[in-house]
Amino acid sequence: MATRIFVPRDTTALSLGADQIAAGIQTEAIRRGLEIELVRNGSRGLFWLEPLIEVETSNGRIGFGPVTERDVVSLFDHDFQSGNTSHPLCVGEVEAIPYLKNQQRLTFARSGITDPVSLEDYCQYDGFRGLQNALHLSGQQIVDEVKTSGLRGRGGAAFPTGIKWQTVLDTPDPQKYIVCNADEGDSGTFADRLVMECDPFMLIEGMTIAGLAVGANQGYIYLRSEYPVAHDILNQALATAYENSYLGDNILGSGKAFHLEVRLGAGAYICGEETSLLESLEGKRGLVRAKPPLPAIVGLFGKPTVVNNVLSLAAIPYILDKGGQAYADFGVGRSRGTMPVQLAGNVKRGGLVELAFGMPLNQLMNEFGGGTASGRPLKAVQVGGPLGAYLPESQWDTLIDYEEFSSEQAVLGHGGVVMFDDTANMGEQARFAMEFCKFESCGKCTPCRIGSTRGVEVIDRIRASEAADNNWALLEDLCETMVDGSLCAMGSMTPIPVQSVMKFFPDELRHGRQE
Amino acid sequence: MSVTVSWQRDHIRAVIRLHKDKPGALLPVLHAIQHEIGYIPDNVVPLIAEEMRLTRAEIHGVISFYHHFRSHPTGRHVVEICRAEACQATGCRQLEQHAKNTLGIDFEQTTPCGSVTLEPVYCLGNCATGPSIRIGNQIYGRVTSDRFDALMDTCRDSMQEAG
């Protein structure tokens, strides 16, 4: 039997030369007369090892990484295809690597194991079991299961998913929609991308179940244009799902219909905000809508709409397969289930870590992340994307839990953890927060549109020591105005990173200018 | 109006018609046009307006709102450098400076020979292996100054033909 060799095909692996390695392996195997089967799997999310090449053996899958194109010949010279572990890049059995072994993977159970566009692989590893169950349940029963799970939105706002679905279910309208927010714009986050690139059928299954739950027959995945690989893989998976009646007018012979389409955004961070996203899907400028009415009542094209993040919808197949209680058994307090945390920035072992809520942040950064990549002392950590606080050392023991982060005036958001070493200039980071808002504001409300521009100017004056005390007071006031007066999270949360720098790194903001 | 231009008009009309009946079709239409031409020329706007029964103002408003849509042609290679926080933590500010210096252009500009247009991007989702850049549909991670130069060499093959 041909040896199966796995070369990942997610963006990160590709960005480090996975395609060239795959081609090299094919060429070298032919040259040596070896029979191999090359599988383009997803990524395990152990990015410091990417491209991580795996060989299937009777002792499990043996990994080699990070591999470059130049290593291919020497891998064969070391007989890696027979599972020989003598090559210096060998990392042993992949599933025994502590980084992976110590996770609690529910959503990412298949990631990196399967070929993302293989329906056979998906079904072999429990795929579509949640949908099979859901087809025999009423909408209310599905919603009840989601309520039992305690699942809250994984996009950042953390609203209970079951309650949102109940609202849509209870709103009488023959036309409803499921919209997947795949506009993962927060720096330091890539969990949505990994779901779409490594296990796209899971998202399709989750959205189909959502459709069955609330009575929606049409779904849209609103995908950011910065994710070309995800776009391609999602479209392949969608076509396969249609061909095999997992989507369409008669899902698995049930007589129930659900249609799904990917729509590309066009480079606007604000379109990750749900109402702005809906405007964009309607073909308009992505201007934020005032709420109420909630999208659950007046959403896409004025119809009741479930808007959920990729991770929220991706958690649904597990919940409908194993039961809401099985999901709720993970976690702490009101944060139930697991949270895929993304370790990024200046980190030695960057990647995806899925764990039940309740793990201390520093344990993640040290035990999993291994500290900074530069080897220099860690200075600050931004959690929750560009609108999240910069946490100083005194806050690194905060638990991964929505309420714990709120109590520290910080944001867990979508679980992105961006680490900075001591060379970071926190004054520069505070300025960037305002600059980013200036660049990305939709412009509908004044505090965000004008406040961010003034914010950059005031920070520049403080950093140039121009009437620094007066400008400091002005910046405090401006931040409060933005928090209280903005229409959505873009304007009301941009001050969070700025205020965290003012509070914890004041000297760097006052004197930190490096020109 | 030349023959080529009128052919283009018919072709673009066909592209619009392919997408315009979808609900909320404007973004898919604009994506398709930019895919065909490389940007969205001003003189295509009235065509879209006519086909989709929208005002030109509405269409202009949408094109100008989104960073991805362009009203001007680009160089043969669009090089996007990620400026978001995770890449900042791994030195994208220095990479950005290096790129501007060696290419001799600022963001949103094109090299005089027409090969490279430099643009900022805010997160490519490759945050654990930054700094990251995108050239066309290909994303590159751990981009040092040397790797950047090597990548630009492949773009420069076509640069030199124009001097």
- The per-residue pLDDT for range A197-226, each reduced to its tens digit, is 999 999 999 999 999 999 999 999 999 999
Distance from the Cα of residue A356 to its chain's centroid: 16
Looking at the DSSP assignment, which residues form a beta bridge with residue A418?
A344, A382
Question: Are the beta carbons of A342 and B128 separated by less than 8 Å?
Answer: yes
Contact assessment for residue A126 and residue A149, using Cβ atoms and an 8 Å cutoff: no
Compute mean pLDDT per 10 residues along chain B, 163 residues long, and list them.
60 96 98 95 96 98 97 95 98 98 97 95 97 97 97 75 44
Are residues B47 and B86 located together in one domain of the fold? no
Q: Which residue's entry shows tokens 């020989």?
A: A84
Which residues does chain A have within 8 Å of residue B123's beta carbon, measured at their own beta carbons? 185-187, 226
> For A386, which of B30, B85, B139 is closest by C-beta distance?
B85
Helical pair A139-149 and A310-322, crossing angle rounded to 10 deg? 100
d(CA A24, CA A14): 14
Spatial strand order in the sheet of A305-309:
A259-264, A218-223, A177-182, A305-309
Which residues does chain B have within 8 Å of residue A386's beta carbon, measured at their own beta carbons? 84-85
CB within 8 Å of B40: residues ≥ 6 apart? B30, B33, B34, B63, B69, B70, B71
d(CA B38, CA A39): 34
Residue A207 burial (10 A CB sphere; 0-12, 13-18, 19+):
buried
Are residues B51 and B98 located together in one domain of the fold? no
Residue A477 burial (10 A CB sphere; 0-12, 13-18, 19+):
exposed
Nearest Cα residue in chain B from A350: B128
Which residues does chain B have within 8 Å of residue A382's beta carbon, measured at their own beta carbons? 85
Residue B163 lies in a domain: no
Give the closest residue to A303 by CA, choosing from A213, A178, A182: A178
Are residues B91 and B25 located together in one domain of the fold? no
Task: Count CB-CB contacts under 10 A for residue A130.
Answer: 23
B117 touches chain A (CB under 8 A): no
> For A284, which of B62, B90, B137 is closest by C-beta distance?
B62
- Domain span holding position B19: 9-65
**Which band of pLDDT confidence, cut at 50, 70 and 90, is reported for residue A515?**
very low
DSSP A365: I
Question: Are the beta carbons of B129 and A416 separated by less than 8 Å?
Answer: no
Q: Which of B27, B138, B140, B148 to mutate to test the interface with A (most CBs of A within 10 A)?
A: B27
Question: What does the angle CA A422 – CA A423 – CA A424 come to, to the nearest 5 degrees?
Answer: 90
d(CA B91, CA B141): 12
Mind telling me how many Å the CA of B87 is from chain A's nearest CA? 6
Mind telling me how many Å the CA of B58 is from chain A's nearest CA? 8
Q: Is B92 annotated as a binding-site member?
A: no
Residue B4 lies in a domain: no
Are residues B46 and B104 located together in one domain of the fold? no
Question: Are the beta carbons of A421 and B89 separated by less than 8 Å?
Answer: yes
Task: Count CB-CB contacts under 10 A for residue A37.
Answer: 12
Are residues B145 and B83 located together in one domain of the fold? yes
Looking at the DSSP assignment, which residues form a beta bridge with residue A177?
A218, A305
Per-residue pLDDT, A512: 59
Domains and CATH numbers, chain A: 3-102 (3.40.30.10), 120-329 (3.40.50.11540), 331-421 (3.10.20.600), 426-510 (1.20.1440.230)
Are residues B92 and B147 located together in one domain of the fold? yes
Are residues B52 and B93 located together in one domain of the fold? no
Residue B121 lies in a domain: yes
Residue B151 lies in a domain: yes
Residue B71 lies in a domain: no
Q: Which residue's entry shows tokens 């933005």?
A: A482
pLDDT in tens, A146-165: 999 999 999 888 999 999 99
Per-residue pLDDT, B3: 41
CATH number, domain with residue B93: 3.40.30.10
Q: Is B123 annotated as a binding-site member?
A: yes
> For A281, which of B24, B122, B140 is closest by C-beta distance?
B24
**Among residues B41, B65, B89, which one ends one of the domains?**
B65
Are residues B54 and B96 located together in one domain of the fold? no
Task: Count CB-CB contacts under 10 A for residue A422.
Answer: 12
Are residues B25 and B51 located together in one domain of the fold? yes
B48 touches chain A (CB under 8 A): no
Are residues B30 and B89 located together in one domain of the fold? no
Residue B151 burial (10 A CB sphere; 0-12, 13-18, 19+):
middle
Per-residue pLDDT, B8: 85
Give the closest residue to A348 by CA, choosing from B84, B89, B139, B88: B89
Per-residue pLDDT, B162: 45
pLDDT in tens, A303-326: 999 999 999 999 999 999 999 999
CB within 8 Å of A290: residues ≥ 6 apart? A487
Residue B118 lies in a domain: yes
Are residues B60 and B95 located together in one domain of the fold? no
**Among residues B65, B85, B103, which one ends one of the domains?**
B65
Residue A308 in 3-state DSSP?
Answer: strand
Task: Count CB-CB contacts under 10 A for residue A450.
Answer: 17
Question: Are the beta carbons of B126 and A190 separated by less than 8 Å?
Answer: yes
> For A187, which of B127, B134, B142 is closest by C-beta distance?
B127
Contact assessment for residue A455 and residue A434, using Cβ atoms and an 8 Å cutoff: yes
Give the closest residue to A475 by CA, choosing from A502, A441, A450: A502
Residue B105 lies in a domain: yes
Are residues B99 and B138 located together in one domain of the fold? yes
Residue B3 lies in a domain: no
Which residues does chain A have within 8 Å of residue B144's beta carbon, measured at their own beta carbons? none
> For B125, which of A227, A265, A301 is closest by C-beta distance?
A227
pLDDT in tens, A439-487: 999 999 999 999 999 999 999 999 999 999 999 999 999 999 999 999 9
Per-residue pLDDT, A431: 98
Per-residue pLDDT, B158: 54
* Residue A246 in this model has a pLDDT that exceeds 90: yes
Total of domains in chain B: 2
Give percent of chain A with pLDDT exceeding 70. 99
Nearest Cα residue in chain B from A345: B86
DSSP A251: G
Question: Are the beta carbons of A344 and B127 separated by less than 8 Å?
Answer: yes
pTM: 0.96
B132 touches chain A (CB under 8 A): yes
Which pair of tokens denotes residue A12?
């990160």
Nearest Cα residue in chain A from B124: A226
> For B26, which of A11, A283, A421 is closest by C-beta distance?
A283
Cis peptide before A200 (omega within 30 of 0): no
d(CA A150, CA A168): 18
Which residues does chain B have within 8 Å of residue A440's beta carbon, measured at their own beta carbons? 122
